[in-house]
Amino acid sequence: MPDIIAETLHELIVATRILTNEKVLDAFGHVSVRHPHDPKRYFIPRHRPPELAEVSDILELTLDSKPVRPTEFRMYSEKVIHGEIYKARPDVNAVVHHHAHTVLPFAISGQPIVPVFHLAAVIGDVPFWDQRDEFGDTNLLVTKPEEGASLARALGANWMVLMRRHGATVAATSIRELVFRTVFGSDNCKLLMQAMAMGHVDALSAGEIKLTAAHQQRPPSTNRAWDYWARQIEKTGLMPTKIAVAKRSATPAKRRKVSSIKKKARKRR
């Protein structure tokens, strides 16, 4: 019988490695996933570069972004981005905040992002959020619950929101859908800038976005893309093993029991 928690945590780490390999995350940025059995909690790695995150680094937080269990790990200061979006959007099960260089020119200039090729239809409408509007001059980090709640309101029913002079936040119903939307959203920005430089942008129509997004969000599409990106991190040696997941998911009592069984087996040999 599959361990859903273990599989979820493994996918979370794979997602961070994929998004790093695809140049969406670098030293900064973070990915989270809602607890598959408890919608009032979510998982997110501790404060460290995404590429270095391991399953053993993952923390379980409430939607108020408080650790479920005491921890000595340092947490991301912007964790409220995740908690407040999960509060506002019961349909969202995965979130990423990033500063991809393909996206930043739009966050800086105020130029809107529009889907310009079929795989990017999943980004849909992309609203702007300007922290300055409600909170004046800040250090641009989203660290207070009220700031995270404001960002969630700007996201609304959409799947991506641009954060002026900062970056972007993307939401999805699953980790694989999140990676699909984030990677192709980043690619879309690169292609959009190239088309703008050529003097003409032929964006997808509202109807094309609706029909194409529905097609691309199906498992055959998201799984195909996931398998491709997973293969890329395998080739670079970034694929995490599932051994660590199994160890983390077991309770201390279960681990002691397994250890005792192994010792008895060795004695019999």
CATH of 4-268, one of 3.40.50.300, 3.40.309.10, 3.40.225.10, 3.40.50.10860: 3.40.225.10
- The per-residue pLDDT for 267 is 47
pLDDT band at 109 (very low <50, low <70, confident <90, very high): very high
The question of whether 177 is a catalytic residue gets the answer no
Which token pair is 113?
Answer: 């992002």
pLDDT band at 269 (very low <50, low <70, confident <90, very high): very low
Nearest to 119, CA basis, from 15, 14, 218? 218
Q: What would the mean pLDDT of 145-166 be, rounded to a whole number? A: 98
- The per-residue pLDDT for 39 is 98
Residue 11 predicted with pLDDT over 50: yes
Q: Which helix (DSSP H) or strand (DSSP E) does residue 249 occupy?
A: helix 243-249
CA distance 160 to 228: 23
- The per-residue pLDDT for 242 is 81
Nearest to 89, CA basis, from 156, 147, 144? 156
CA distance 1 to 166: 43
Q: Quote the strand ranges of 66-119, DSSP E.
A: 94-98
- The per-residue pLDDT for 263 is 47
Residue 36 predicted with pLDDT over 80: yes
| Paired strand residues for 167 | 163
pLDDT band at 258 (very low <50, low <70, confident <90, very high): very low
Selected residue with higher pLDDT from 133 and 243: 133
Catalytic pick among 11, 22, 60, 78? 78
pLDDT band at 243 (very low <50, low <70, confident <90, very high): low
Q: Return phi, psi of residue 59, to 5°.
A: -110, 150
Which token pair is 169?
Answer: 């936040």
- Positive or negative, the CA dihedral 76, 81, 84, 87 is negative
225-242 pLDDT tens trace: 999 999 999 999 999 988
Determine contact, residues 51/23, Cβ cutoff 8 Å.
no
Residue 255 predicted with pLDDT over 80: no
CA distance 87 to 30: 18
157-198 pLDDT tens trace: 999 999 999 999 999 999 999 999 999 999 999 999 999 999
Nearest to 75, CA basis, from 43, 107, 102, 120? 43
CA distance 218 to 257: 41
- The per-residue pLDDT for 1 is 53
